[in-house]
Chain A
């Protein structure tokens, strides 16, 4: 079973790091979106099994993206992981309320992300 992951993060270096971590796992491929808008465009063009998103972004924020995904017929069941810094605790809570499956606080370690990915996809 192969998994395709959407990574939404406005920091180029951070995106690269998340991508490398995700793709270290066998059968994982990913697509990078550098902004919320890019993510909105990528969603209908791909079939993602998982979405990893930042919260603080310039065009639309991560919460608005989660709300969009949860209202999208193709993606409403797709798990979402929120990554943010400890400053955004309140926003992270709101993300969980909107239906995110899990969150990670930056800085996190590669294996923490991988564990979280496996957990929300139900593959141990």
Chain B
């Protein structure tokens, strides 16, 4: 029992799988770009970096097969990103085939520990792709740039190549200097980068502390852009930006004249959302067809090797996969509407309630253009309405009270929506009295919702407001006392697979943050096996997966927990929750357990499972009325092998494990 080796092998495999999954996504994107005739350099570089990491990693762990094949592939990708080999669909399908083989090799390690799949054919294929598509060595144009040597010397070879390419493409090179607080620079810089990326390529990001690190951290961003310097300067100017300088002005770059073309009249079609649902379902079924097709393609390769018709089928199924991805995106796109549609309604409601309650409140709305699935927008409007009513009624103090506290007479509520990855965040922020967590706790005890002897953290006390039958108001008013409480808001948000969070300071105000998926139609999930049953865990809630020995599990207050990087993580055994028998095959073996660490808002949990099956795209379908109220299940989905798999409701399982005392 070399438990240490097994454990590091599991860590290697977990990371290798993550890398390969990301690579596959990026490769599909790259293929789409090749098809469209313009490839984003960031994607090529991301693929290079993934393969590079995999090579380094497999080398360190002594897996020579993966390391050698990844090394070969890395050379090809390096040539692609440095512009030495042309990117064509033949090249990308060679990369795809090599990635599949890498997956096979890591599968070998997972099963028996030995890399038994051969890969000589892949090496030959990559060699061929490199030779047939190689471009004649381009002459590098070194031009005198007025860029401090300090900046050029920290460019990697690749970044230097990108700088030269930008100059060759007759772009302007601009240096933006921005200073941020140490505590928030990552968020601030990401926001600035997003803004800049719309205008050109970020070639490098150089941080510097300056003489006095207390003053925050400064970043020098080197940008290549087609826009005129003056345009960039006026558009990115912000208090945090200390300077914007032009480093290389390309005389040929045309400054974009303000567009004076007449906007074409909008050509729109109104469609019943049910029709779009139907299309989405068909797409979902095609996803199943796709996985069957990939399976057949794999079997054929197993039978006759990677030759002739097997290659053709492989290429065709990749093509199918790609086009299906585009179709899926297209269908999701037409379901999107700006959230501003409901903001207008909310603004009217605010004026009405404020007048009824004789409160002086103004509402500010930001991010009206943020887009969400039509159904999500509709389902979130009532909860938002309720939260705003709460903010006016319980949050914002009376005019006299505000005067006593030295606040502006008029209360302020801000409603903000903005995209964050493939989610949308909506915040409702008031400058009222805040929520007193001790008062919340007392109220919960009075109402018989909480045992007086229980010790709670501040966060747990605040979370009590989400309990059914809770209201902190001293007197029930006409406005917010209309049957719905925060419990209903929370339920509605959870129904949309969303997350709600409270941030409050007594006397200063309260901010509710709702995070929602952009669409509920298709999600990515991690498939796990418990006994004989398969379950899907939405990937948006999965933080990481672990393989641990039994002795790491301890018991605190009759609950099983493990310690993870100094934090206590409660565990939930899915076989016990759903009353499943052990089929005796216990995937991880008798010595180990697999744990899927999932999280929602501040809450974390570890699901104990027998085996990790892999990632998959799924379409969640509602389950029948009978099963509707089974806690812990969000719905069901079909998989490529015609299995029906239950989808876990992470939020309710966390509640189950953490709230019950």
Contact = CB atoms under 8 A, between A and B. Distances in A.
A11 B61 CA distance: 13
Interface in A83-124: 84-85, 87-88, 90-91, 94, 97-98, 106-108
Nearest to B75: A87
B59 A106 contact: yes
A85 B57 contact: no
Interface stretch (B207-215, B223-231, B431-439, B477-485): B207-215
A25 interface: no
Contacts of B205: 59-60, 64
Contact of B206 (A12, A64, A74, A107): A64
Contact of B155 (A56, A63, A87, A108): A63
A108 B150 CA distance: 31
Interface in A42-65: 44, 55-56, 58-61, 63-65
Contacts of A56: 49, 52-53, 156
Interface stretch (B7-15, B394-402, B506-514, B518-526): B7-15
B87 to A, nearest CB: 19
Contact of B185 (A40, A63, A64): A40
Contacts of B56: 11, 14, 84-85, 106-107
Interface in A3-28: 10-14, 16-17
A97 B182 contact: no
A72 B209 contact: yes
A64 B158 CA distance: 14
B153 interface: yes
Contacts of B217: 40
Nearest to B208: A71
Contacts of A44: 182, 213
Contacts, number: 113
Contacts of A66: 154
A63 B156 contact: yes
A41 B186 CA distance: 9
B15 A13 contact: yes
Nearest to B204: A64
Given A71-B209, A87-B74, A41 B182 contact: yes
Contact of B60 (A14, A58, A61, A68): A14
Contacts of A88: 156-157
B207 A40 contact: yes
Nearest to A109: B60
Given A63-B155, A64-B154, A98-B154, A37 B186 contact: yes
Contacts of B75: 87
B127 interface: no
Contact of A58 (B49, B207, B213): B49
Contacts of B15: 11-13
Given A10-B53, A40-B207, 19 more contacts: A11-B56, A13-B61, A17-B8, A37-B185, A40-B182, A55-B156, A58-B46, A59-B205, A60-B205, A63-B155, A64-B205, A66-B154, A67-B154, A67-B206, A71-B210, A94-B153, A94-B156, A98-B153, A106-B59
Interface of B: 8, 11-12, 14-15, 46, 49, 52-53, 55-57, 59-62, 67, 71, 74-75, 78, 150, 153-157, 159, 182, 185-186, 189, 204-213, 217
Interface of A: 10-14, 16-17, 36-37, 40-41, 44, 55-56, 58-61, 63-68, 71-74, 84-85, 87-88, 90-91, 94, 97-98, 106-108
